[in-house]
Structure 1
Amino acid sequence: MTTKWTLDPSGHAVTFQHKTFWGLATVHGVFRTVHAEGVVADDGTTADGTVTVDSASLDTKHRKRDTHLRSADFFDVERHPSFEFTADRVEPVAPESTEVQVQGTLRVREVVKPLSFVAQAERHGERVTLSATIPYDRADFGMTWNRLGMMADRGELGVKLRFTQQV
């Protein structure tokens, strides 16, 4: 038996940070539109789910940069309006641990890559919050624009998702 969980619209943050200007500055941004749902086994030992992020909803608080990030050089939002993480398996790292091992696939610009990471899981009644910092390499997803080598290849996604149990 399983229980369905949906994303609390007021309890999420999907952010990114990426070094630029030859490591002298870090660009921070947030994706404003996120949808997610999942199911958890009633015994709490396993879960799976999907997180879909609207690529055009990114906000770095710099309009010209945001326009460039939405272009074909990066997210190409006209052809790829969203990216998606599908968790095939979420399970506790150890009994009574608040850490969970998450395994699944990340699809960005129609490129699908396996992704595995550890997240913190905090349960408060009928709500569960998952938090993780996930490294990425933008070239893995076809984002290779890099004028004069000014951008680092790797960055980090920050994810905080609060799910509410459905009755």
Structure 2
Amino acid sequence: MTVAVETGTWQLDRTASTVALKQKTMWGLVTVKGTFATFHGEGEVLSDGSAHGTVTLDVASLDTKHEKRDKHLRSADFFDVDNHPQITFAVRAAELRAGDTVHVTGQLTVRGISRPISLTASVPQAGAAAATLETEFIVDRADYGMGWNQLGMMRGLTTVTATLRFVRAATA
């Protein structure tokens, strides 16, 4: 990175962060978009430059601007919020690559099903007090037990986009 990120503990700044998804539906004619209103996260940057952490989403906070659809997404056909209220991405490693790019590996847990995932994030801003990561990656919802597809309306993969701003945690 052009600016080094300080070692120590970092907290997700929810007011400056976004997590969203989009999925093609209606035989690819309509793209459903939604955002998560409630989430939290934390991470740690170690002295060797490596990092690890967790981002947790409150599934019930997913908003697609359509109340009936949101209720269906919370049902057992999709996220099954009553039994699995959170989505968690546990970062196992984050390694600086060329320029302002970070390679991230971890475990994504949706509906109680965990799968390894790797993604690339850009770091448009980093400093002593705050750092921002931006990423977009693809998830196959069937890998997480979400196979509902009435009349073949839902095809393709789900795209997840995130802008995550972390701030230095206060030290005691």
- Give TM class, smaller chain: over 0.9
1:92-137 deviations in Å (ceiling 9; x for gaps)? 113xx21000000100011000000100112144100111001000
Distance 1:140 1:101 in 2: 22
Q: Percent identity among equivalent residues?
A: 47
| Counterpart position of 1:26 | 31
Contact preservation (8 Å) 1:139, 1:153: no
- The correspondence for 1:85, drawn from 76, 89, 93, is 89
The structural deviation recorded for 1:11 is 1.1
Q: Provide TM-score, normalisation by structure 1.
A: 0.94
Residue 145 (1) aligns with residue 142 (2): no
SS of the residue corresponding to residue 30 of structure 1 reads strand
Distance 2:7 2:107 in 1: 22
Distance 1:5 1:124 in 2: 12
The structural deviation recorded for 1:17 is 0.3
| Counterpart position of 1:7 | 12
Unaligned runs of 5+ in 2: 1-5
Distance 1:93 1:50 in 2: 21
The structural deviation recorded for 1:2 is 4.3
| Counterpart position of 2:59 | 55
Residue 130 (1) aligns with residue 144 (2): no
Unaligned runs of 5+ in 1: none
The structural deviation recorded for 1:155 is 1.3
The structural deviation recorded for 1:64 is 0.3
- The number of equivalent residue pairs is 164
The structural deviation recorded for 1:90 is 0.4
1:41-96 deviations in Å (ceiling 9; x for gaps)? 245x21110000000000000000000000000000000000100000001113xx
